[in-house]
Chains A and B, each alone.
Chain A
Amino acid sequence: MKTKSTREAAMRAIIELAGQDERIVIVSPDSLLASRAVPFLERFPDRLIEVGIAEQNAVLVAAGLATTGMKPVVISYAGFLTMRACEQIRTFVAYPGLNVKFIGLNGGMLGGEREGVTHQFYEDVGILRSMPGVSVITPADAGQAYKATKAMFMREEPCYMRLGSGREPEVFPDDTPFEFGKIRVVKHYGDDVAIFASGFIMNRAIEALELLKAEGINGLIADVSTVKPIDSETVTEILKRTNCAVAVEDHNIYGGMSSAVSEISSLYHPCRVIRLGLNDIYPRSGHADELLDAYGLSVQSIVDGAKKAMSK
């Protein structure tokens, strides 16, 4: 499958936005290269604030900048941001509701793949989802990351966007829209089962839907690209039609999108929701596709999950 970098796509959007708004600045805890920000630095040399390998300080500096009316974005690896600088995000950005954007790289197993557990992050969405006042966006490919970046900067509030390694499968046509806070049904063959998916495993979810169709099970795929605030109305509508679902994400099964879908189900339409993700264990280094296959996110696992959801 063709891949395209979500990191480059997001940076392209930031550069375009920064060309129109001189208050947009990048705060970099030595993430210039990882975030593909060299073209930004070349074009706006005074607007990339390098603070060295110091994520906590990067978030504080961004908070301070935001109090003066600047529009900072902090880009770093997802875990270094959401775990090492967790308290700074919560207390100094989310609590006062400052207009700071966060972009977390290497989201999921797929993001960190061969680097191993220290550089794979499957807790970020859950951590931030538990924090009042932070929106969480999980694009599925580069095209969506570009549009999500633009949508994120339209909002004057703390937002987090999860990106990957830079080798994400291209799943959606370029003209696919992104609407903040809305779930989009990507494919709809029938109401036998719903597959809720978010992030860079969308290609696997789509493949699973096609396999199910070949077996006579006609389901649908819903792209949950905004995990918080989640579009609970659409989740409920879908569950009312299908009465069962499988929720798939490259994240620990606790705290992420699948937890959010289960919470909505328990409140508005109780039914079986199978959660597929990392099963509360630490994986290991490996090629991205092999890792996902080994740790419960193979296409077959999604197919099996869907069947399990449908079984009474």
Chain B
Amino acid sequence: MTTKELKQMANRLRMDVVETIHHVEDGHPGPCMSIAEIITVLYFSEMNIRPEEPRWPLRDRCILSKGHACPIQYAAMARKGYFDMDELKKLRKLDGILQGHPDMNKTPGIDSVSGSLGNGVGIGLGIALGCRMQGIDNFVYVIIGDGEQQEGVVWEAAMAAAKHKVGNLIVLADCNNNQSGGKVTELSSLYPASEKWSSFQWHVQEIDGHDVEAIKNAIANAKAVTDRPSYIECRTIKGKNIPYMENNNAWHKRVPTKEEVEIARKYLGGAV
């Protein structure tokens, strides 16, 4: 995909999320919007995956540690062909395969349970070690939020990952400075986060998390570092590209009305 196509796809996925959450009347739209470009670059540019063979052992892995943003991952996976687009309409419903938070057994292509915050980096470390021990040449991507880095187990995993020199582990942090209860900077003292990861002996980069070229370049840089895990701090905007959602934490979990869906469609460039 070209850069232009990736940008369009990110907005298309945003629109999928707005329509899905409107349709099923439940979900977290704001946190999806800030990772639209990250998810798009991973699924449509970077990851070596086979949607027709979801458990292909040599595949790259993607752990969405901030699992509440799964609607946008599901949208990307549907568009990649893991399952039918109609499944999105059954998100969070008893007869659907898409759980409220990712489930590796119910949804083909999901690599781990996630959603209980803070746990993705440790899972990713285990996968990275398991693949390396079996001589599998792949990469494990973990998408974490900034708020979830308040969980102590993130740092347990960060410490151990550096010790084990897992060059195949790449963490992308969606740093939108918002969490359920308010601003990350007001609720706790995470920032400067990249300095913390740096002191934990990770390879660290800071980028604009909505710039698909920057994400691609950062991943290329991370892949070139083989003796350390990588942390890519992606500066993002919660609710990005939908003005009424941008930086408005009321949209952490909220259902858009029919009118709001149409407004979103207008701003997302009629991509859908």
Contacts and interface: CB of A to CB of B under 8 A. Distances in A.
Interface of A: 25, 27, 46-47, 49-52, 54, 56-57, 59-70, 72, 87-88, 91-92, 95-97
A95 B126 contact: no
Given A25-B133, A64-B129, A64-B130, A96 B122 contact: no
Contacts of A57: 122, 125, 153, 156-157, 160
A52 B159 contact: yes
B59 to A, nearest CB: 11
Contacts of B57: 68-69
Contacts of A46: 133
Majority secondary structure, B binding face: helix
Given A25-B133, A91-B116, A96 B156 contact: no
Complex A-B, nearest 8 residue pairs according to Cβ-Cβ distance, in ascending order: A64-B126, A60-B122, A68-B130, A57-B156, A54-B156, A61-B126, A64-B127, A51-B160
The size bracket of the interface on B is 20 to 34
Given A60-B123, A60-B125, 13 more contacts: A51-B156, A51-B160, A52-B156, A56-B122, A57-B153, A62-B126, A64-B123, A64-B124, A64-B125, A64-B130, A65-B127, A69-B130, A70-B130
A67 B126 CA distance: 9
B58 to A, nearest CB: 11
Interface string B50-66: 00000001000000000
Interface in B80-127: 103-105, 111-113, 116, 119, 121-127
Given A67-B111, A91-B116, A96 B130 contact: no
B159 A63 contact: no
A198 to B, nearest CB: 31
B160 A92 contact: no
B253 to A, nearest CB: 20
Interface string B112-156: 110010010111111111110110100000000000000011001
B164 interface: yes
A274 B105 CA distance: 42
A96 B131 contact: no
Contacts of B131: 68
Given A61-B122, A68-B127, A68-B134, A97 B105 contact: yes
Contacts of B157: 54, 57, 60-61
B116 A87 contact: yes
Contacts of A87: 116
Given A56-B156, A61-B122, A91-B116, A67 B130 contact: yes
Given A52-B156, A67-B111, A67-B112, A96 B104 contact: yes
